[in-house]
Every structure is written in structure tokens, then in C-alpha cells.
Amino acid sequence: MTDRPADDPVVITGIGTLLPGTGSAAEFWQHVSNGRSQIGALTRFDGPAEGLPVHAAAEIRDFDHTARLPGLDPSHARKYSREILIAMSALVQARDDAGLGQGDVDPRRLSVIFSSSRGPLSWWQPVLRGEDPTAYDDKGAMFRGLPGTPASLAAIHTGAQGLVTTVSNACVGGHQAIGLALRELRAGSSDAVLVGGHEFPILPEVAHCYRALGNGVLSTESEDPSRAVRPYSADREGFALGEGSVVLCLERESTALRRGARVYARVLAHASMNEADHPTTMDLTGKVTAGLVVEALEEAGRRPDEVGYFCAHGTATRYNDLAESRALRALYPDRGLGALPPISSNKPIYGHTFGLAGIINAASTALMLHHQRLAPTINLTTPDPECDHDHVAEGARDTSFDLAVSMSFAFGSQTSVLAMGAAA
């Protein structure tokens, strides 16, 4: 093992999750691997009253930060929003899960990189609607209104003095945050990076934006909220909104092993591109995405034939489903549908979390590599004929694999892939 940062594998040593019905990495793994949907009846707003036929969402209920942030001064906490406190709690959980204590990393070499597609909309909504005339009456208003504040305040709380920043690039932002963390660690600029995302889009304003795109984007019809999201299914109807925060602790492998840390998985490579094509539709030939997968795998020194699993973006929208299935067919042109590698989506569990989605996928994939078990795509009973391949639809599957690829797509003609490997 060399000590040169560029040749030292980057690994995930900690996972912090605060999601609907989920307060730890162990609960996250149980829900994802066992296919337990956390999407329920929408309560955050009255859909019909807002002119919206929206009935399902993955909501965090009854969050209390006090047990998760015991060292936070109550006078400070009162100035923070729920979004900030949840993101801070996820970061502390990831740090603790990694066993990263005071003195383990020079504070100047501990960084925080977050992703969020929209920032603090939940705070701005009542302000802009005129429902909270006192919103600007304390100094905390400056905190609550900035998209980068969760990362900054989490860094202050944990003593991180390295690079602290927030990426905002729709659904590929989570992948890109991990890509930035890889560069920091490989360049030797940081010794540990707490990289994560936060998203709180369960608002009528956000729902109206997606409804404006037409039918089949935002789920509106299913009577059972837990079955509202059905990727690759002939009866798909779109996604449900989800919220929360997930944070990963990334380190160079030599650093982690020296301090006896548990390693979930390796992060091998990240590749991201702007297709410079249609702003709301990803490549539907599959060839562009397939090429990007090859690019990431080549950086990792691996080949497509070695991939044992694909973690899908899996939004249950027609274009996304077709784009992913066609990407696999382009990547493996000599294989029939039945011989394509397994692929699954966690969107039926936690909904669509936009800037957080890539982080959820990375956490899910890391745990699958760690446990050598594939998580299923639930709610899939009648596959779309073009997507009739292996979605692990029968339930969790024990297996043996050491290479996985996560795919992510976003408005703005953005495509991103992340290659991950099993721990040594």
C-alpha cells in the first residue's frame, strides 16, 4: 500500500441517515434491503386545496434534534430551521459511525461537501406567502435563507476547517459532491470528507412545478401510497416527493486502516457530463450513458463485464425507465434482456429526493457491497416490455459481487455515474 494520495483508494467509513421512518444506517439498510416503503399519505399540505391531485409523500415525522445534537446551544438551535438541524444530525451520525473522534483528523484537513437542488424552500414559503411576519426579526433569518448554511453550520458544529461548500445541480448534485470529495482526497488536500445531501421539497410550489410537466411525472393516482412509485412497470405513474438528509464519511483507505476503521466500500471513480442536448430529457439511445459508464470504469481499471449490479436513478417516469434500460442494452450489445446485470431502484422506498438522491444511492450501494446482498425494486408486477430485465423484483438477493455502478440523471441535460467496489 502506497501513501501517495492519488494511488490510495478512497473508502466509505461512515453513514448517517435521517430519512422518513429512518434514524440510523441500520434502519436504512433494513428498509432498503427488505423493500419497506416509507412513502405514506401526504400530510404536509392539502393537495386538493392547492389544486393538486397529490396524495403520497415520504415525510419525516416528529423530528427532535436534542438527542442527536446534545452539544448544540439551545439559543443557537432556535435560530436554525428543521432542514439545518436534520442535516447537522446526519453529519454527526456519519462522523460517529466512522469512529472519527477529536484528534483523528487535523481540522484543517476535514472537509464538508453537501448537495441540495433547491435549498431552504420550506423556510422561504411562509415568508413569501406573508404567513410569518416575524420571519426576519432575528439574526437566524440569515442562516435559514441560505442553501449552503446546513453545510456551514454542520462544519462549525463538528470543527471542520477544510473545504466547506454546497453543490446545487438538480439530481446529479449528490454524485458530483462525491466527485469533489474524491478530488480532495486524491489530491491530498483533505484527509476526510463528510459528503452528503439534504432535500425538503414537500411543498405545493414544488409539486406544481412537476405537475406542469404533464402526466406521468408526479404520482397522483395510486390509492395505496406505499405503491405510488413503480419503476419499470407498465402501470407506472411517476414519483412521490421525499425528504431528509444522508451523509457519508470518505477517507483514504490507508488512513482508515491505520485507525482501525470499518470500511463499507470503496469509491472507485466518478464521471459526469452535460449532454448539451434537450434540457428536460436524457439520452434515449442509451449510447451516451453507456459511454460514460465505460469512462468511469476505465478510470477505475475495470470493465463492463465485471459489473455485478447497477443502482438506478429509477424515478418511475417513462423516459428515465427507458433511458436506463437502453443504456444497459448499449453497454452489453451481445446480451439479451435476460442476461443484463441486475439493476434496482430505491425511489419506491424513499421517494424522489433530487439533490440528495445520488447520496442515497451511494449509501445503498455501499451497504449492498458490504453485506453482499442486492436490494430489490419493489412494486414491480408487470414490467414495461422494454424494461423487462432483472430488477431484483422478487426481493433481496444474496450474491457475490465486487463492482457496482450508480446512475443519475438531471434536468439541464446532465448525466452522472459512480463506480463503487467492495472493501479489500
Query: What residues are labeled active site?
Result: 171, 313, 352
Q: How far apart are CA 360 and CA 345, in angstroms?
A: 11
Taking CA 346 as the corner, what is the angle to CA 320 and CA 409, rounded to the nearest 5 degrees?
Answer: 30
CB 191 within 8 A of CB 110: yes
Helix axes 82-97, 121-128, angle to 10 degrees: 170
> Across the beta sheet with 241-242, what order do the strands follow?
40-41, 56-58, 241-242
Which residues are CB-contacts of 44 (< 8 A; sequence separation ≥ 6)?
57, 59, 202, 203
Q: How far apart are CA 188 and CA 5, in angstroms?
A: 6
Between the alpha carbon of residue 261 and those of residues 11, 182, 264, 299, the distances in Å are 10, 18, 10, 26
DSSP 290-312: HHHHHHHHHHTT--GGG--EEE-
The contacts found for 397-400 with CB under 8 angstroms, 24 or more apart, are 397/342, 397/373, 398/372, 398/373, 399/308, 399/309, 399/372, 399/373, 399/374, 400/308, 400/372
